[in-house]
Structure 1
Amino acid sequence: TEELHLSGPLQDMTFSVQEGTIGFQYLYQFIIEPPADSLRLSGETDGIFEIGPKRGILYFNKTLDRETKAVYKLQVYAVDAKGQKVKGPYVITINVQDINDNQPQFDQPKYFGVVRPLPSRAGKPFMYVHATDLDDPTTPNAQLSYSIFQHFPNPYHEMLFEINNKTGGIATSPQGARWLDPQKQDHFTLVVTVKDLAGMTGNAFANNADVEITVKENLWKAPPPVHIRENNPGPYPIIITQVQWNDPDAKYELLPKERLPRFPFMINKNGTIYVTEPLDREEKDFYTFYATAKDEQGEILDKPLEIQIVVEDVNDNPPVCQKALTIFEVQENENVGSVIGTLEASDMDEQGTLNSRLQFRIVDQNPKIPVDKLFIVQQEAGTFQLRSSSLNKHIVSNYTLKVEVTDAGFKTECDVQINVIDINDQIPIFEKSDYGNVTIPEDTPIGNVIQEIQATDVDEPFTGSSQIIYQIEEGDPGNFFFIETDPKTNRGFIKIQKALDFENSPVYDLMIKATNPEPLVSGVQYQSNSTTYFRVIVTDVNEPPVFSQLTYITAVYEDTPVNTLVMKAKAYDPEGDEIRYTLKNNNRKWLRIDEISGDIYTASHLDREQERAYRVEVTAIQTSKESQSSTAIFILHIRDVNDNAPRLAKNYSLFFCHPLSGREHAQIEATDDDEHDPEFTFSIGGDENIKRNWGIFRINGTHVDLYPKSSDLEAKMHNITLKIKDKGEPPLERNLNLQVNICRCTDARTCFIELVYNKQSPSVGMAVGILLAVAITIGGILGAVFFHLNRKKKKERKEADQNAKSPPEVIPLTS
């Protein structure tokens, strides 16, 4: 036999043997030590494992198969020459290692599935195939991968189906979800392949299975709009439509599209939709809601279907008069056939149908003098016309009519009153032909009354014939004035409508005309006495300067040189006085202004990081004695330049526990006061020793991890140079010194700092001694007091005294 290289004393041992290894194979040689004379083997030998009793060689004599048995448990013990056990038994474990010697097998010879084409279901499995492999499931030998080898037929030369390579789930591909049509092809056969070794190598074992797929029509479709007549007497609920998912186990739910005070619809487990109560078209004539289908886990299977409900009208609403009493006016000299007015009535039933068609009829006139049926009404329009020229206000001043308004099933009576009014044969006449002059300052507030005027009309009061309208005919092209009229007295009030300006127009000569809203009768015209005149004299008021704009805004870069012109503020004085300019709230002294021209310049260095929008007030002051002033706002937006080097976002106190494990790291964050998005470049600086011992790992543009490259670094404070560079124009860089303490740590993972004691200062031992002496003294005093107070508690007193003399626990403090 060959010399064994693996040998040793008797002990528990574990061996791994690859299955398929051809026996006869040696495993190990156990050394036999006196008084042992030989070795013996027991346990799950299965006629495969043996041991040479004299030489101690453990071997197997047959080929192993992991799928038959994966682990063997044996016992070895030593006996002396008399056969007495002197050592052991020791446990020997034989693990049979797997090799890829099994072909995967599908659990069915053929699979059958049904699919309904839905674009939204692309990629979602509708069936599964499953295969198993007898090899070790913890190794790649049993890791299976599924694929579709081909399918028949293939009308589009693209795969209409796809399979999840891990789960075996078969789904429609995006193309298949669009193109599958049972009318064109309702049956497909897929050849599905399964491979072990995760399908990653060419020597993997494979197997195939056929999958028969039937394509059926998609049942999940929105039904056509449903028409429901309002006020259906029932009984309820009433079936109105139905939806159906492609599988029978779906759960259905209705979702309103809008918030409603009540939702009169429901759906049962079969997808049948009901209306649960009578509908009212006048309340709501159209409903839209959604039907959803969910699986057993409550997940929505596909997009909801829109359900539309149209509520059909029935004639269930009578006509309604818009007013309790409709009043018309007609002049006594009105021509026959003239339109007097239209009666307004409505019907809540559906417009454009016979249910809402209204017809009008006069059923009574009161009084019936001088004749009955003085008026007619157009049957469809409700418009009243004069039938006779027999009106006379002095005989009858008003008529009352009963008007019947009908639709297809209802009738309503409306009341109409027709007032006979006097004809407009008199013109308004002013009390004065000229109201003279009125003097007002140019700053008189808008809305102030500057003059009252009065004209009279002797036509019937409170009618369109006597009502007066005042109009400024001439002298006010800019519309600076307007006139309000008191409807009870016909008195006019001239008011200021826009701010006056002496410099623009110091005098207004107004011509005012009085008219009626009702046209004058034929042959009568307005005369000169319906016109009056009025002069407005505007006096000058010293006004403050006026800026060309209320707010001035501009933007400059923060590195703009001092004395750069940034804005021209311009104001003028209405009276022509000279103006001087000053700046207010110029707190940072960044700007100055030329007091004569109003030009604004930079006065010192700008800094966007201190203030992004610098706001000051520009004041324009008259140089005259009254010295009025005005103020405008100037906002200077300061644009950023790259003038700030990167810096650390906070102060870091870094330490790592000694000894290092090799997994230490600390996150460092940098920031930049400039405006651009932070994006930094980090690097380790300093000498080669620092670069050799420390490294950084980039997390993102602002964060890095600092880590020691070696686990043998000395426990001390390490100074590390960290370079941070931004990406501005031009880029700026900063060198930072990071201190990292490598230290011994406490159990709480904080640095352990040893206390160094001064020889002149009391040590911990001395402190403990002092504490013990004080405790003993106090205990003695307490014991004496207790002894005198209660002799009967001697035992308790001794225990208390003993406890008082016990030394206190001293806990070492570390940080």
Structure 2
Amino acid sequence: MESCCWCVVTADIPQLLPSSLSLSLSLSQVMCLNLEGLLETGPLKDMDFSVQEGGAPRVLHKFTLEPPAVSFRISGETAGIIDIEPKMGMLYINGSLDWETKQVHNLQVESVDESGHIVKGPYSVTIRVEDINDNPPEFDQKRYFGVVRQNSRPGKPFMSVHATDRDDPTTPHAQLSYSILHHFPNPYEEMLFQIDSETGEISPSKTGSYYLDPQKQNTFTLVVSVRDMAGMTANAFTSSVDVHIIVMESLWKAPPPIHIRENSTQVHPVNISKVRSNEPGVIYGIFDKEKLPRLPFSISETGDIYVTEPLDREEKDMYTFFVVSKDNKGDLVDKPLQIQVIVEDINDNPPVCQQALTVIEVQENERSNIGTVLATDMDKENTFNSRLHFQIQSQDPQVPETNLFFIQQDTGALHLAGRSLNKRDSPVYSLKVLVSDSKFQTICDVEVHVIDINDQIPIFEKSNYQDVTVAEDIPIGTVILEIQATDGDEPGTGSSFITYQVLEGDRNNTFIIETDPGTNRGFVKINKALDFETMPVYNLMINATNPEPLVSSVQYNSSSLTSFKVVVTNVDEPPVFGKPVYRKEVSEDVPVNTLLMTVDAYDPEGDSVRYSLEGDVRKWLTIDSATGQVYTASRLDREQEEMYSVEVVVSEVSLVLHLLDVNDNYPQLATDYPTFFCYPVSGGEKTLIQAIDADEQLYYSKFTFSLADDMNARMNWEISKANATHAYLSPKHGNFEEKEYNVPVILNDNGNPALENKVNLKVSICKCSSENSCFIEIDRDHSWPTPGQAIGILIGVLLIIGAILAAVFLHMKYKEKNGKSHHKDAKDNAELDRLS
């Protein structure tokens, strides 16, 4: 490429030169530069450039002339700063581009000859202006004002701020992020308001939803900041604005208790109240708190609450239900409001007699208060609607005079007006009692029965019923004797009814006496179990009395007493144990002849008791036949049997021996699966190993795995914990031979005391099949034994057969020598050796 010298009026072209050649001149200076090798050059063609806005004058490209062309010319959207040097073909910008003014400049470039005729072109030259972050964001208002309601939903926007940025919206230059810089005042550690960083929407925080209260603070000022570059860089432009917020009282409030008169005649539904949410457009609903079969209330879309039907206070005097507000997603907008409706009483119930016929018994000598006429009113208590007034309307018969009775007007208490009644005048009086409230009246029927006074005592037909003999095992409830007394008072009254009681000889209430109300016959029954050994004979004294008191001039005497003797006969009974089951927890390592427990039994007849054991199959226990003390007879072993039960022959009571485990088994490695790694070892492999222990879970619930203090083991292997019973074994490198390795592993069961065991884990390094398991190559050339090997195998088989026959022969000779009489002893000795 030929060198050239180009003179241009410029301010600064550092972009064209390396740092060693960078030079800045004033517009009045002329710069002549040797631009050889610094610019992209080429023939005239369509070109597309991307140029960052702003900056100093710069050269974009150098077009080369092709004869007969002698110069270039440019046209189009030059903006007065884009030009081409006609002779040299230098396309340059002599000023600053502005993306906000114009993003694309479309130009045409052509070459011409000396006569000005076009040689090539025109060609399209497009200059795309790249945006830089040169505009700060701007809020659309100088200040903002908003209103928020107390108890508004956290996160629900009540206002928003908005800012714009003139930079390219497709770049981070115009991506805005909002935040709250300051919060005045801020009485709590957390802010009461929050802002959506992307949308600028402002809402109460959780703290604000709970604490905002216009009674405490009704105005707040927030300083809201907006940053471009999505707020991610420190060089972003920032603007801020004040947001003034007024806190207003919550619209969402429960009304005071609503009072509705029962049995309303209005056309239903009837509007009884209204609720209003803090948010517009919510969906209102009602749900029942008391799970009633039906709820006679509804709510409209606008929050109006209606009663849908007349209410009855006597059916239900108060209703409690909840009103909720939800958004279109079904989420609660406000906390549920509890609505209480009180049903007010009206006098709509007449008095009701508590009994269809009230019967009152009056003894001849009785005076004053003789009974009460009971009536009720279902209207509200302690109001005029339920206040009752009693009045005697008639008396039949009216002998010996009228107005024998008087009734208290507010209580219904019935009295004798003067003299006492006499059954000879009339045994029964019928009364009509008028019961009324302020609106209704009811007649209650009353009968007064005049009964004979209790002036006759019960008299027994016998003063003594002799002896009654019963066995001590007689069932409870059995009748052992019938007794009879008579009473001369009026039958069917409390004066003539007889009750029998054991007056003497039965402190423990062993006997009970029931009376036949029709005949006054008494039945003496067994109330508690008899015991010959405790009480062989009962001398009982029985009295007969009336429920009604005797008149003052009459007293009970010996005619109302009788006696008899109950003789209890003995029944042979089995011994009785103090407990149905005897249990004991024992460590399996207790010494032989250790006293475990004492079984306590006694014979009700006082005979001596002898103890023995049955079911002691392991011969672990022995019992003292006289005292019942149970000892260990041999060594115990929980691993053979944890719960050991035997029976005591006296009453076949179970004895359970619970052996407590001690940590006497060393931990071992489980051998359920082989341990191997595929050859060659590549690194990163690991295999799972497991520890087991025959002891109770208490002693092996957590094992510790470690390598033995062996240099080769620690250089080649490492162990890491998997869980309480498993660990991972991993090779530490890949330089292993194809063979079997012994890895010394130390296991600790963490028992009390802890047991530690060193075991050798066999690990194979082997070639693996496609299923990732070891395989052994078979050498088919040597798959059959040689003649010498075959002879050796045959001789070995014959020797083994000879040894087996010799052992059988010796065993038969031994049995003949010892005989059958020693068979049991041998078995017992073998069992004893095994247990010890």
TM-score w.r.t. length of structure 2: 0.68
- The equivalences for 1:242-321 within 5 A come to 242-321=274-353
How far, CA to CA, are the matches of 1:558 and 1:531 in structure 2? 69
The question of whether the paired residues in 2 share the 8 Å contact of 1:113 and 1:213 is answered with yes
The answer to whether structure 1 residue 427 and structure 2 residue 457 are counterparts is yes
| Cα distance in 1, alignment partners of residues 706 and 166 from structure 2 | 54
Give 1:515 shift: 0.5
Q: CA 1:663–1:379 in structure 2 vs 1: closer, same or farther (change >3 Å)?
A: farther
Aligned to 2:24: none
Question: In 2, distance between residues paired with 1:751 and 1:64?
Answer: 72
Deviations 1:387-435 (A, max 9, x none): 2436333442222222222222222222222222222111111111011
Q: Is the contact between residue 437 and residue 536 of structure 1 (CA under 8 Å) also seen in structure 2?
A: yes
What is aligned with 1:488?
518
For residue 403 of structure 1, what is the amino acid of its counterpart? V
1:439 equivalent in alignment to 2:462 = no
Q: Does 1:221 align with 2:285?
A: no
Question: 1:473 maps to which residue?
Answer: 503
8 Å CA contact 2:318, 2:342 repeated in 1: yes
Q: Assess, with a 3 A threshold, how the Cα gap between structure 1 residues 471 and 729 changes in structure 2: closer, same or farther.
A: same
Assess if the C-alpha contact under 8 Å between 2:676 and 2:763 holds in 1: no
Q: Measure the CA separation in 2 of the matches of 1:683 and 1:144.
A: 58
1:598-640 Cα offsets, whole Å, 9 max, x none, are: 33455643538965xx47466472xxxxxxx373x65666666
Q: How far is 1:440 from its partner?
A: 1.7
Q: How far is 1:114 from its partner?
A: 3.5
> Shift in Å at residue 445 of structure 1?
1.6
Indicate how the Cα distance of structure 1 residues 362 and 745 shifts in structure 2: closer, same or farther if over 3 A, else same: farther
Are positions 1:114 and 2:147 aligned together? yes
CA distance in 2, matches of 1:285, 1:49: 93
The letter of the residue matching 2:638 is D
In structure 2, the CA distance between the partners of 1:274 and 1:490, relative to structure 1 (3 Å rule), is same
Paired residues in the alignment total 689
Q: What's the offset of the Cα at 1:452?
A: 1.2
How far apart are the structure 2 equivalents of 1:475 and 1:103? Answer: 113
The alpha carbon displacement at 1:187 in A equals: 2.1
Answering whether residue 266 of structure 2 is matched by residue 234 of structure 1, we say: yes
Shifted more, 488-497 versus 141-150: the winner is: 141-150
Cα gap change, 1:114/1:543 in structure 2, threshold over 3 Å: closer, same or farther? farther
Matches within 5 A, 1:662-681: 674-675=697-698, 678-679=701-702, 681=704
Write out aligned runs for 1:93-492 (5 A).
112-118=145-151, 147-154=179-186, 159-162=191-194, 170=202, 172=204, 176-177=208-209, 179-193=211-225, 206-335=238-367, 337=368, 339-389=369-419, 391-492=421-522
Question: Is the deviation greater in 525-534 or in 653-662?
Answer: 653-662
Q: What RMSD in Å do the two structures reach over aligned CA positions?
A: 5.2
1:522 positional shift: 2.5
Q: Does structure 1 residue 605 correspond to structure 2 residue 655?
A: no
Q: 1:299 to 1:501 in 2, by over 3 A?
A: same
Identity rate, percent: 54
Cα 1:201–1:506, aligned 2, differ >3 Å: closer, same or farther? Answer: farther
Whether the 8 Å contact between 1:584 and 1:616 is mirrored in structure 2 is no
SS of structure 1 residue aligned to 2:559: helix
Matching of residue 540 in structure 1 with residue 563 in structure 2 = no
The aligned counterpart of 2:797 is none
Q: Residue 501 of structure 1: which of 527, 531, 534 is its match?
A: 531
Deviates more, 1:680-689 or 1:370-379: 680-689
Q: Distance in 2 between matches of 1:657 and 1:51?
A: 67
Q: Quick one: distance in 2 between partners of 1:654 and 1:229? A: 87
Pairwise CA distance, 1:588: 7.1
1:202-241 per-position Cα deviation (integer Å, ceiling 9, x unaligned) = 6666554443322121222322222222211221111222
Rounded Cα–Cα distance in structure 1 between residues aligned with 2:508 and 2:313: 55
Q: In structure 1, how many angstroms separate the alpha carbons of the residues matched to 2:711 and 2:170?
A: 47
* Residue identity in the other structure for 2:148: V
Shift of 1:472: 0.7
d(CA) in 2 for partners of 1:181 and 1:645? 70
CA gap of 1:152–1:498, structure 2 versus 1, over 3 A, is same
CA contact 1:315–1:355 (8 Å) conserved in 2:
yes
Q: What one-letter code is carried by the residue in structure 2 that aligns with 1:729?
A: N
Matching of residues 13-52 of structure 1 within 5 Å: 44-46=48-50
Taking a change above 3 Å as real, the CA distance of residues 126 and 568 of structure 1, as seen in their structure-2 partners, is: farther
The residue number in structure 1 matching 2:626 is 596
Cα distance change on mapping 1:452 and 1:740 into 2, 3 Å: farther
Give 1:309's aligned amino acid: V
Distance in 2, matches of 1:700 and 1:280, equals 68
Aligned counterparts, 1:64-75, within 5 A? none
Instruction: Give, in angstroms, the shift of residue 475 of structure 1.
Output: 0.7
Matched to 2:574, the amino acid is: P
Distance 2:619 2:130 in 1: 85
Distance (whole Å) between structure 2 residues aligned to residue 719 and residue 51 of structure 1: 79
Q: 2:560 aligns with which of 530, 547, 551?
A: 530
1:485 Cα offset (Å): 0.9
Question: Is this contact kept in 2: 1:357–1:407, CA < 8 A?
Answer: yes
Q: Which whole-Å CA distance do the structure 1 matches of 2:132 and 2:672 have between them?
A: 58
Are residue 519 (structure 1) and residue 519 (structure 2) matched?
Answer: no
Larger Rg: 1 or 2? 2
SS in 2 for 1:471: strand
After TM superposition, the structure 1 stretch with the greater mean CA deviation from structure 2, 206-215 or 584-593, is: 584-593
Deviation per residue, 1:749-802 (Å, 9 max, x gap): x779899897999xxxxxxxxxxxxxxxxxxxxxxxxxxxxxxxxxxxxxxxxx
What secondary structure, in the 3-state scheme, does the structure 2 residue paired with 1:404 have? strand
**Which sections of structure 1, spanning at least 5 residues, go unmatched?**
2-20, 27-37, 55-59, 71-95, 622-628, 762-815
SS in 2 for 1:580: coil
Whether the 8 Å CA contact 1:686–1:720 is kept in 2: the answer is no
